Amino acid sequence: MPETELTDTDLHFVRRAIADAVANVEIGNRPFAAILVDADGEILAEDCDRTALSGDPLSHGETNVIRTAIQKFGLGPLPAATLYVNSEPCPMCAGTILRSGIGRLIYGATGAIAGPYLSGGRMLGQRYPSDAIFALAGDKLQVASGVLLEEALQPFELYVAKATA
């Protein structure tokens, strides 16, 4: 699981995923969004977590974009594609990223930072085991985490503000 160099394009898409997650909270969903981009910087799929409004616990941003991209383009583009997420993928999505063969993952808030916002503090100090899952990909998956961390907190702060309003 090698680290990856970040480009301006990477920062652009992390910011866009953060903005998508904010918009998702504003319509009553959870604070997560994902964008899958091919090697040329073209968006293959862009979606949000829709679990709250759909009632489908599998409807995470990452699973939604991976499914949509595979239906449209097949698995072919995924090893050269980059997945941008506003925060660390959960274990289900980490497994889906692994199984789909995506070559690069860039995300904002780590689970350790985002978790307490979502659990009323219960997940304080806990980490997702996503790194252990990503490590199974060996050098086929590059990962960068904690990107634009302060901006990446915005969807979570809005989510808590709405929940306590």
Task: Give min distance, CB of 112 to Zn ion, in A.
Answer: 15
Residue with smaller CB distance to Zn ion, 44 or 93: 93
DSSP 45-82: EEEE--HHHH--TT--HHHHHHHHHHHHH-STTGGG-E
Establish if 94 lies at the interface with Zn ion (CB under 5 A): no
Establish if 93 lies at the interface with Zn ion (CB under 5 A): yes
Q: For Zn ion, which stretch binds (CB under 5 A), given 58-66, 99-107, 116-124, 131-139?
A: 58-66
62 is catalytic: yes
Residues in the interface with Zn ion (CB under 5 A) total 4
Task: Give min distance, CB of 72 to Zn ion, in A.
Answer: 21
Contact at 8 Å (CB) between 165 and 128? Answer: no
Establish if 104 lies at the interface with Zn ion (CB under 5 A): no
Task: Give min distance, CB of 16 to Zn ion, in A.
Answer: 19
Establish if 133 lies at the interface with Zn ion (CB under 5 A): no
Binding mask 10-49 for Zn ion (x = CB under 5 A): ----------------------------------------
Backbone angles phi, psi at 121, to 5 degrees: 95, -10
Burial of residue 73 (number of CB atoms within 10 Å: 0-12, 13-18, 19+)? middle
Sign of torsion, CA 149 151 155 159?
A: positive
Beta partners for 63? Answer: none
Establish if 90 lies at the interface with Zn ion (CB under 5 A): yes
The count of other CB atoms within 10 Å of the CB of residue 113 is: 17
Chain residues binding Zn ion by CB under 5 A are 60, 90, 92-93
